[in-house]
Structure 1
Amino acid sequence: MSGSKIPAEGEGPVEIKEYTGAAGGWGSMKSLTTILPEERIGTDALDALRRQNKPEGFMCVSCAWGKPAKPHIAEFCENGAKATAWEMTSFRVTPDFFQKHSVSELDQWPEHDLEQAGRLTHPMKYDAATDRYVAVSWADAFEGIGAAMKRSEAKKVVLYSSGRASLEASYMYALFARMWGQQNLPDSSNMCHETTSVGLKNAIGSPVATIQLEDYEKCDAIFAFGQNVGTNAPRMLHTLRDCAKRGVEIVTFNPLRERGWERFTDPQNPIEMATGKSTRISSQYHQVRAGGDISAILGICKLSIEADDAALAGGGERVLDQHFIDQHTVRFEEFAAFCRAAEWDDIVRESGLTRAAIEDAARVYINAKAVIAVYGMGITQHRFGMDSLYMLTNMLLLRGNIGRPGAGPGPVRGHSNVQGQRTVGITEKTELAPVDRLKALYQFDPPTEKGWDTVESCRAILSGECQGFVQLGGNFLRAIPDYGRMKEAWAKLPFTVHIATKLNKSHLVPGKESWILPCLGRSELDIQGSGRQAVSIEDSFSHIYGSIGKATPAADTLLSEPAIVAAIAKQVLPENSNVPWDAWVADYGKVRTAIENTYPDKFGNYNERLFQPGGFWKGNPASHRKWETKSGKAEFNVPRALNSSGFQDKDGRFRLVTLRSNDQFNTTIYGYDDRFRGIKGTRQVVMINVADQQRLGVKDGDIVALVSDADDGIERMVDGLRVTNYNLPDGTIAGYYPELNELIPLEHHALESHVPAGKSVPVRVRTGS
């Protein structure tokens, strides 16, 4: 049995009370005035915030929302400011820190306390005899890492990367992996939006959003699915506010009522701040069951097709864009027949919505001339997440809402450069890497065997096949499912290497050999041989931006990510005169030239356009109705199920939705205040509606455990959770990620994309614990 109890260290008095304010407003301002002094940072931070997400400034390490060509006075959100303060903290984790605290002790600290300890300053190696990390020189660290890697089989080592790594570092990292003879290159996308990368590619030939930021100025309806804008992409609220004020219908589908989708007070609007006024965001809000989006969208499609049938029979105006369907799509008739045959009882049961509610949403869709479909991991992180995504695409195709102004799919990426990493080669799939181009440029034979993604890497770690793990940023061990089982297996790895700015849980389960390599943050000044350096990132709209740090580095012992990647590559690879690692480190502009040479269709005049206001667009064929699919057209797809959870309802079985709090970004926990949900001082909660509480015989404030209800014979449990009243659909409960990752079986993932299915996890509530 694997199990865990969420640690309570560092938590203050618990207060759970409904939050009545809007997103933004004075709540956000108060949060910022708290974290800045907590991190004891000086004027550097204020200057950094002034420059954040602006031309000639640095790009936020938080979400991937677009940066407008004409930025706001403050082009950062509450969580973006927290990320900057967290990076620019005055606290330091020096070698003395590790002398005071053993690794076993630190492993018991909560995530918040580990990162709150401060910035890492020196390269460290684990000493098993003392159970402590000890300082080593950079030369010794690189020599030791190189020796460990050369003792290993390249195809059995994982090279993971986080979305905060720049395009330059990511390109070098991917090239290093392939020159070593492997492409085990899982990244953050494997855990969140890989369903988008696979599903959109199959359906429309493009793995990313077809829209750009300016399309929000041209749409007249927005349909939003499974995305919490107020917490995960707060700068998007400015765009949504503008849309709402000009009369755009915003129809939201989400199991929880999230404040950001309800109303927003703009902190940069003096009148709204003075009067407390807010803007209503969603014109309709539909609380679907976890995984119920397939059926909700099916209902909209059924109504649209049947309205078109009636119009055709009666000689009225067509509802569907038949010309678009005929010219640009395949398999429409198959999909239309499926929709016509769908039974309303099934749609209502599986969606959790009334027929009247779906009809209200369908009326908006049918009457709109240009529709954007926004979505997040509430679509992608399900067993049948691909089917949810296909249904969303089907809906857009019915009325030609792809490839024209103000219309198209708009996935909201959760990490600043996670999309860009894939653009420059971070992928385990040979067909997505420019292997012929790499071979020509660098005179080596790239591997053609598929590498390991996140799930496959975890399987290899569990089986003992994996011989080592290198992570460029991130907190892989804590972010993945099945934490208890994975933690035990992780400790048996022959070696682990962590390139990081701060401590996290992954660092505290050492392999037989383990190193921590501290790197510069994106906000910090990066001086190399040719002078001050800039890096670049890609946003959710496929725009590329330059980013240049200015803040004083946390320590003069830090190296940049490109410098660390190059140093490891030089230790492991035979010399190749075609790959100028040293020259690339001295001048990142030369890395960008290499990227341009590798991807000339996307990165033309890369260096010249680096600081173009609003970024430069790398292009998207589907935006021009060029469909790079197997059929050469956009493809309708019939779903395999009416609910994406992938498991059946049973008495006592719940669908658990794992969530971020307002005080969190991925596995980084800034604090214990989930303001919008009214939960303060704790993360040890399970949110359950009152009717389900009554059925369970529990009440608000009771302490319960959640137990995995997967059909795999493995018992998983998280104990010590406080029952908390929350407005959720019957049978759907919610709690925080990553604490509840323990309950997600590794094999509970999206079927094709292998994204962990953290938005519909089968669990039971155990009382009396």
Structure 2
Amino acid sequence: MTGDTAANKHRTTQQDEQVPTYDHPAGGWGSVQSVARMFGTTGPSPVALKMLAKLNKPRGVMCSSCAWAKPAKPHRFEFCENGAKATLWELDPARADASFFEAHTLSELRSWHDQDLESSGRLTTPLRYDAQSDRYRSVSWDEAFTAIGRELTALPPKQSVFYASGHAGLEASYLYALFARALGHQNLPQSSNMCHETTSVNLATSIGTPVGTCTLEDFDHCDAIFFFGQNTGSNSPRFLHTLKDAVDRGCRIVTFNPVRERGLIEFVDPQDPKQMTIGRSTEISEKYYQVRPGGDVAVLTGLIKCVLDTDAKAPGTVIDFDFINDETDGYDAMLEAVQAATWDEIEAHSGLSRALIEEAAQIYISADKAIAIYGMGLTQHVNGWLNLGMLCNLLFLRGNIGKLGTGISPVRGHSNVQGQRTVGVGEKTKHMPSDKLRALFDIDPPQEDGMNIVHAGEAMLDGRVKAMISLGGNLLRAMPDRERMEQVWRKLNLTVNIATKLNRTHLFPGREGYLLPCLGRTDRDIQASGPQAVTMEDSLSHIYGSIGEADPPGEDVMSETAIVCAMAEASPPDNPKLCWRDWAGNYDLIRDLIEATFPDDFRDFNERMFQPGGFDRGNAARDRDWQTDSGRAQFTTPTTLSALGEVPSEPTTLTLITLRSNDQFNTTIYGFSDRLRGLSGDRKIVLMNRDEIARLGLSEGQKVSLASTIDDGTKRQVDGLTLTAFDLPAGCVAGYYPELNPLVPLALHEKNSQTPAYKGAPVRVIA
């Protein structure tokens, strides 16, 4: 395989202009028009304008969309297209009240599109499912909490699962984790189980921390940034301002991704009048390489070989042997494995030529300080552990962790998904220190680790789980093996969904099913002690306070924190040190508890929560304090050159990668425009390289099905997809999440963390 073949040329260096594409930069007028369209849907109310003006600013509202950092000196408008959409979506004037549910059965609502369900408006009253009429009916809060407490009391603790999406603030999340452990279980899966649990588990093995090491300051000093499997333009657009500033001062950016995403190609700053009128766009990536899905291990192996070869020609001029000798373990084993890999193997797995990989390596070698950025393109693979280990290996070779301008930085999705884990929402005993819980609350927390999402799904299928409590989210829609999970969900004894809007998960209630309306991030939260603030943590480990200012959607809507407290108060144990009612009335008291439980991370929590730019809770690896088993940073020895569980050998087997559109946040569908990819309309599409379409004897526009090739006794197939030519590497197809989730089995997941392999599922196309 060479870099000069026609097949390689268009997918590694140039856009294939014969397929749908977006010819404009990310940001710019396209972004402005998209926000304006949302205003046309919801109406430009004064409170919406006020909220957007204060979004992501000190003592303002922290965006409920992505988890990107909020600078100490914010822009005039410190929000992006996605943040505006999320804010306006939450400020929806429509109401899904009792009369709405009286007018629609759940059977009818299951025929609606996901967007139509959420467009029905904000939830306003607590609801209980009535099986006889197949409707949600109003219920008082007291009746709901009493019934929920009764059901939880009747079940053995380990038969309950408490799920949390990444939205709820640190206060509600901490009490939720405490509630589960006081009840007697640690079944606390979280949305990170489906995206960045690979990070939490495997970064801890390599560098001793479950989170990234960078701060915003590092981006002011780096010489190169290497991106792997992350779509900044759609998933965290405010990051583009940071990247533009880096490029403007001379930083070189290199991207590896199967899809050419516009946000990492070029950008126009909507807040720069010159760029918006006569100025040129900023080229973000100097080099952009379309690696095959699962091929990042091979790419990283090739980059490391280049570093080794260059240093061999001038020993000690490239590799930081002081760092390796003083700070790391495992170098020799890694070295032997990398040297054993041939360039033919690397080219075959990566889909890139040696010349292209050497080109990228020279940028890395020439940079004194480099940062590695990654997203779910690395984590949602069976061998995601190896993706991360090899990325750390590359950084270790030149000492690019633990000094200014360097580091590894996973880009998280939901706004507080990292923070929830920090305050104890997780299935492992280590996520919430047992000694602190005993001292503070006189409870004896369980010592056996609980269930993550995959384990909980398996336990529901075999009847070991009887109750599912969801603090936000649309879990059933987000999970793999969705059709099997929908069938078993309704057999549960109890389902409780705490939510702002209706979504598809709510349409599959258990025998006792409750839908409880909660305040959103933008809503004013008044409790016994007065107005309340909530807090969250960004991707860069900074903590921020947030104050909502909008009128709640109804008088009968409670905060997430108050709902958690009321459920806990109605459940065992009866413990005078569990002061649920006091905590619901004053969130300062909860922050005091968080500080007492995690003193190193939350020193002076209440005093620092509104610090501009957030307060940094610290990161040991950034200080080269490696909290690994060996006390040193750990090189990873590659055992394969592919992140896929099994590299397809049959010519008709393709690798599926799932995508989010530009008009989407996680499972929330704002609209049907995927502007930055040049796509719009129907989401039931499958994208494929033009040459692959011809090779398989198919034609563009043809209706096809995708079927899983995993033979485990369960048929997994999605029908009615329109085949669409798109600029992708050979051997893969792409389509939208969550529509294609049924093709991914629960058992197809990352080796160590059980993160579903949404970026590496084997499928075939059926005409």
> Shorter-chain TM-score category?
over 0.9
Match of residue 181 from structure 2 = 178
Tell me which stretches of 4 or more aligned residues in structure 1 moved more than 6 Å.
Answer: none
Superposed displacement of residue 433, structure 1 = 2.1
Superposed displacement of residue 37, structure 1 = 2.2
Superposed displacement of residue 318, structure 1 = 2.0
1:411 aligns with 2:414: no
- Aligned AA (2:716): R
Report if the CA contact (8 A) 2:114-2:503 is conserved. Answer: yes
Secondary structure of the 1:608 match is helix
Secondary structure of the 2:606 match is coil
Superposed displacement of residue 571, structure 1 = 0.5
1:40 aligns with 2:43: yes
Match of residue 484 from structure 1 = 483
Report if the CA contact (8 A) 1:380-1:755 is conserved. Answer: yes
1:309 aligns with 2:312: yes
User: What is the CA deviation profile of residues 468-488 of structure 1, one whole-angstrom value per residue up to 9, with x for unaligned ones?
Assistant: 000000011000001111110
Superposed displacement of residue 283, structure 1 = 0.4
Match of residue 515 from structure 1 = 514
- Aligned AA (1:190): N
User: What is the CA deviation profile of residues 28-64 of structure 1, one whole-angstrom value per residue up to 9, with x for unaligned ones?
Assistant: 1111111112023511111010111100001111100
TM-score, with structure 1 as normaliser: 0.96
1:347 aligns with 2:350: no
Q: Distance in 2 between matches of 1:98 and 1:581?
A: 31
Superposed displacement of residue 533, structure 1 = 0.3
- Aligned AA (2:247): A
Superposed displacement of residue 276, structure 1 = 6.0
Secondary structure of the 2:297 match is helix
- Aligned AA (1:668): T
Q: Distance in 2 between matches of 1:647 and 1:341?
A: 21
Secondary structure of the 1:614 match is coil
Please list, as runs of the form range in 1=range in 2, the aligned pairs for 1:495-506 lying within 5 A after superposition: 495-506=494-505
Secondary structure of the 1:458 match is helix
Please list, as runs of the form range in 1=range in 2, the aligned pairs for 1:365-764 lying within 5 A after superposition: 365-649=364-648, 650-764=650-764
Match of residue 12 from structure 2 = none
1:95 aligns with 2:98: yes
Q: Distance in 2 between matches of 1:130 and 1:715?
A: 32
Match of residue 219 from structure 2 = 216
For 2:83, which of 76, 80, 83 is the aligned residue?
A: 80
For 2:117, which of 114, 137, 146 is the aligned residue?
A: 114
- Aligned AA (2:664): Q
Q: Distance in 2 between matches of 1:403 and 1:496?
A: 45
Match of residue 5 from structure 1 = none
User: What is the CA deviation profile of residues 196-223 of structure 1, one whole-angstrom value per residue up to 9, with x for unaligned ones?
Assistant: 0011100110111111011100100000
- Aligned AA (1:147): R
Secondary structure of the 1:30 match is helix
Q: Distance in 2 between matches of 1:276 and 1:476?
A: 44
Q: Distance in 2 between matches of 1:120 and 1:103?
A: 15
Please list, as runs of the form range in 1=range in 2, the aligned pairs for 1:113-152 lying within 5 A after superposition: 113-152=116-155
Report if the CA contact (8 A) 2:67-2:415 is conserved. Answer: yes
Point out the more displaced range, 34-43 or 548-557: 34-43
1:297 aligns with 2:291: no
- Aligned AA (2:250): G
User: What is the CA deviation profile of residues 256-310 of structure 1, one whole-angstrom value per residue up to 9, with x for unaligned ones?
Assistant: 0000000001110111111263100000101000011000011000111122222
Secondary structure of the 2:168 match is coil
Superposed displacement of residue 711, structure 1 = 3.1
Superposed displacement of residue 432, structure 1 = 2.8
Q: Distance in 2 between matches of 1:679 and 1:330?
A: 47
Q: Distance in 2 between matches of 1:721 and 1:99?
A: 34
Superposed displacement of residue 681, structure 1 = 1.3
Q: Distance in 2 between matches of 1:432 and 1:113?
A: 38
Superposed displacement of residue 574, structure 1 = 2.6
Report if the CA contact (8 A) 1:41-1:89 is conserved. Answer: no
Please list, as runs of the form range in 1=range in 2, the aligned pairs for 1:258-337 lying within 5 A after superposition: 258-275=261-278, 277-312=280-315, 317-337=316-336
Q: Distance in 1 between matches of 2:609 and 2:621?
A: 24
Q: Distance in 2 between matches of 1:89 and 1:370?
A: 45
Q: Distance in 1 between matches of 2:266 and 2:702?
A: 31
Report if the CA contact (8 A) 2:161-2:456 is conserved. Answer: yes
Q: Distance in 2 between matches of 1:333 and 1:558?
A: 60
Q: Distance in 2 between matches of 1:276 and 1:79?
A: 24
- Aligned AA (2:42): E
- Aligned AA (1:467): K
Q: Distance in 1 between matches of 2:22 and 2:431?
A: 45
1:200 aligns with 2:199: no
Any gaps of 5 or more consecutive residues in structure 1? 1-15
Q: Distance in 2 between matches of 1:70 and 1:766?
A: 53
Superposed displacement of residue 101, structure 1 = 0.6
Superposed displacement of residue 17, structure 1 = 4.5
Superposed displacement of residue 554, structure 1 = 1.0
Q: Distance in 2 between matches of 1:426 and 1:203?
A: 22
Secondary structure of the 1:607 match is helix
Report if the CA contact (8 A) 1:306-1:340 is conserved. Answer: no
Report if the CA contact (8 A) 2:461-2:488 is conserved. Answer: yes
Match of residue 7 from structure 1 = none
Any gaps of 5 or more consecutive residues in structure 2? 1-18
Secondary structure of the 1:735 match is strand
Query: When the two structures are aligned, how many residues end up with a matched partner?
Result: 748
Report if the CA contact (8 A) 2:707-2:765 is conserved. Answer: yes
Match of residue 13 from structure 1 = none
Q: Distance in 2 between matches of 1:324 and 1:648?
A: 35
Report if the CA contact (8 A) 2:477-2:667 is conserved. Answer: yes
Report if the CA contact (8 A) 1:41-1:90 is conserved. Answer: no
Report if the CA contact (8 A) 1:112-1:668 is conserved. Answer: yes
Q: Distance in 2 between matches of 1:287 and 1:51?
A: 38
For 2:30, which of 27, 30, 36 is the aligned residue?
A: 27
Superposed displacement of residue 18, structure 1 = 2.8
Identity %: 53
- Aligned AA (1:641): T
Q: Distance in 1 between matches of 2:493 and 2:95?
A: 29
Secondary structure of the 1:373 match is strand
Q: Distance in 2 between matches of 1:455 and 1:41?
A: 42
User: What is the CA deviation profile of residues 84-106 of structure 1, one whole-angstrom value per residue up to 9, with x for unaligned ones?
Assistant: 01100000000000111100000
Q: Distance in 1 between matches of 2:308 and 2:579?
A: 58
Superposed displacement of residue 581, structure 1 = 1.1
- Aligned AA (1:688): M
Secondary structure of the 2:314 match is helix
Report if the CA contact (8 A) 1:153-1:467 is conserved. Answer: no
Q: Distance in 1 between matches of 2:91 and 2:147?
A: 30
Change (3 A) 1:276 1:734: farther
Q: Distance in 2 between matches of 1:140 and 1:681?
A: 44
Q: Distance in 2 between matches of 1:712 and 1:295?
A: 29
Secondary structure of the 1:739 match is coil
Q: Distance in 2 between matches of 1:331 and 1:232?
A: 35
Q: Distance in 2 between matches of 1:648 and 1:623?
A: 36
Secondary structure of the 1:715 match is coil
Secondary structure of the 1:230 match is helix
Q: Distance in 2 between matches of 1:703 and 1:613?
A: 53
For 2:192, which of 181, 189, 193 is the aligned residue?
A: 189
TM-score, with structure 2 as normaliser: 0.97
User: What is the CA deviation profile of residues 337-356 of structure 1, one whole-angstrom value per residue up to 9, with x for unaligned ones?
Assistant: 11122100000000111101
